[in-house]
Structure formats: structure tokens, C-alpha cells
Amino acid sequence: MAETTATGTTSEEWQPKIVMFCCNWCSYGGADSAGMGRFQQPPTVRVIRVMCSGRMDPVFILNAFLEGADGVLFSGCHIGDCHYVNGNYKATIKYKFLKAMVNELGIEDERLKLDWISASEGERYAQVVTEFTEQIKKAGPSPLKPEGVV
């Protein structure tokens, strides 16, 4: 049964699986705002809440890819707004390393993205998710996806 989704596509078209890590204080609130404000977004994202973007461990991201995620987004408070002083700054350093690593590994680096979304930016949240989904759709299924995983 063809079901129309927010982006106007049908479910017969391949839908990427995206894992999104949101920080408790900003981006998770941003996701709430997006829902409250009824901003349309594709249902491709599985949100996992972490206390801070600085909590993001490279292991989480690598594991998401190995488990079959087509893309990984992680998001936190804007630089300077971190609830824990400099957690998001630490996240940028890890992101730099992960980006270089994902590149060298041969996974297209557009599959990994770090963005800042504050709790009030519901619209921006929807926009980031939409854009990222489009990006992953272009890239296709992840080469690291285990066999049998859709």
C-alpha cells in the first residue's frame, strides 16, 4: 500500500535509515519543538538522546554504521551555549577525527554530519533532517550495511 509521506514520496521508494544523536538540552528539545510546531519532516530518523554532544563516542557512530545505518547525524547546542561549558567543542574535535576516518575507510563522508540545533529551533530541526535525508537518498544504501538488514 502506497502511503504518502511528508516529503511527498511513496514508501515503495527506498527510505534510508538514519540514526540521530541529540543532546538532552538543545537538540532533543529542538525535536520536540519541531513536533509541537508541526513542521513536516521525513520519518527516516531514529533519535537517540545523549546528555551532551560531547558524550558522543566514536564507538556509537561506528557501531551505528556497522548495524546498518545509512547515515549518522549528531547534534548539540550551538558553540558557546553548551550546558556543560565546552562539550560541543569536544564534539567538534571528535567529529574532525571521525570525518577523516570515515573518508579513509571508504564510506562517503556525507553520511556523517554534525549540526547545531537549539531547543527553540523546531523548524531548523525539520530542515536539517529533510536535507540530510535527501543527501543520503542520493548516496544510496551504506556499503557497511550487514546482509539482510533493510
132 contacts 42 by C-beta, under 8 angstroms: no
- Cell 556525507 belongs to residue: 110
80 contacts 74 by C-beta, under 8 angstroms: no
**Interface with another protein: number of residues (CB under 8 A):** 25
State which of positions 104-143 bind another protein (CB under 8 A): 104-107, 143
Q: Quick check: helix, strand or coil at residue 84? A: coil
CB of 113 to another protein, least distance (A): 18
CB of 44 to another protein, least distance (A): 22
- Distance of CA 68 to CAs 1, 61, 150, Å? 25, 11, 8
Q: Quick one: cell of 37?
A: 510546531
Does residue number 35 form part of the binding site for another protein (CB under 8 A)?
no
Does residue number 100 form part of the binding site for another protein (CB under 8 A)?
yes
| Total residue length of the chain | 150
Stretch that binds another protein, among 12-20, 34-42, 81-89, 122-130 (CB under 8 A): 81-89
Does residue number 94 form part of the binding site for another protein (CB under 8 A)?
yes
User: What angle is formed at CA 28 by the lines to CA 39 and CA 112, rounded to 5 degrees?
Assistant: 90
CB of 147 to another protein, least distance (A): 9
30 contacts 118 by C-beta, under 8 angstroms: yes
State which of positions 36-65 bind another protein (CB under 8 A): 57-59, 62-63
| Residue nearer to another protein on the CB measure, 111 or 113 | 111
136 contacts 16 by C-beta, under 8 angstroms: yes
Q: Which residues bind another protein (CB under 8 A)?
A: 57-59, 62-63, 66-67, 85-86, 89-90, 93-94, 97-98, 100-101, 104-107, 143-146
